[in-house]
Amino acid sequence: MRALLQVNDLKVSYGGIQALKGISLEVGEGELVALIGSNGAGKTTALKTLAGLLHPVSGSIHYRGSDLARVPAHQRVCDGLALVPEGRGVFARLTVAENLQMGAYTRRDTAEIAADLDRMYTIFPRLAERREQLAGTLSGGEQQMVAMARALMSRPKLLMLDEPSMGLAPLMVAKIFETVRDIAAQGVSILLVEQNAKLALQVAQRGYVLESGKITLADAATTLLGSDEVRRAYLGG
C-alpha cells in the first residue's frame, strides 16, 4: 500500500511545553488508521499540526510525496486534507445547508457541489430533514454529522477526525462510527483520533498509541485490541 501521509520525527512545542516529542506515523491510500491515547497525550496537537494550524519545531510531514513544511492551512484543504475538529466547530448561526456549502469554499464546480450536497443528505438523512435549521440549534450528534459532511464537501483524500464520539449518546456514537466505516469503504483515507480506544480499533486497520507526546505502540488494530498493555490502559480490562 502506497503511503498517502508520512510523518517523521515530528516535534511540536507551545507555551513552553513539548507536546509532541518526535512522533512518526503513516496513513496509506484508502486506509483507516486510529491514533489513541489518554487526555493530554498530544492527539489533538498532532492533527492540528497536520492541518497546518500549529507549526512543528522539527520533523517532516509528507503528503502525496510532497513536503508540507511551507504549505499554509487553506492550501492543505485545497490539496485534499480535511480536519473535523474536536468540539465540531459548526457555524452556529448558519443553517445546515450553509455549513455544508462552506465546506466547498475552495471549489468552483457549481454543478458538482450541488451533486455533493445531495450525496451528503443521502449519507446523513437527518441533515436533509434539518437543512434549513440553524446548526447551533442541533443536538451534539447532529452537529457532528454537520462537521463531517462539511469536511467531506471539500472532497478530501485524507479525512482527519478528532474525537467524533465525544459527548454523544451511545446510539449516536454507533451511527457516527457506522458512517466512518462507510466513508472509508468509499476510498477516503482516514486518520481517526479517539478516546474510545475499543471503538476506534474496531473500525481501523492499524493503530498507534500516543502517550505523553510519544508513540509507544504501533500495530495492526486487531493486535492492539488483543494487547494486554492496551487493554489495561485503554479498554478497561
pLDDT on residue 87:
83
pLDDT for the residue 228: 87
Residues 212, 217, 221, 225, Cα dihedral to 10°: -80
Q: Are strands 32-36 and 189-193 parallel, antiparallel or unpaired?
A: parallel
Question: Shortest CA distance to 213 belongs to which of 5, 22, 6?
Answer: 22
Residues of the chain with pLDDT under 50: none
The total number of structural domains in the chain stands at 1
- Partners of 4 in beta bridges: none
Cα 3 to Cα 210: distance, rounded to the nearest angstrom: 20
**In the chain, what is the greatest distance between 2 CA atoms, to the nearest angstrom?**
52
Judge contact between 201 and 36, C-beta under 8 A.
Answer: yes
Residue span of the structural domain in which 14 resides: 3-234
Alpha carbon distance 98, 106 (integer Å): 14
- Give the closest residue to 211 by CA, choosing from 13, 6, 18, 42: 42
- Provide the b/e sequence for 2-12 (b: ≥16 CB within 10 Å): ebbbbbeebbb
Neighbouring C-alpha atoms within 13 Å toward the C-beta of 32: 23
Choose among 44, 48, 81: nearest CA to 63: 81
Question: What is the predicted pLDDT for the residue at 230?
Answer: 87
Query: Which pLDDT belongs to residue 168?
Result: 86
| pTM of the predicted model as reported, rounded to 2 decimal places | 0.93
Residue length, the chain? 237
Return left, alpha or beta for 92; rule: phi > 0 is left, psi -120 to 50 is alpha, else beta: alpha
- CATH number, position 8: 3.40.50.300
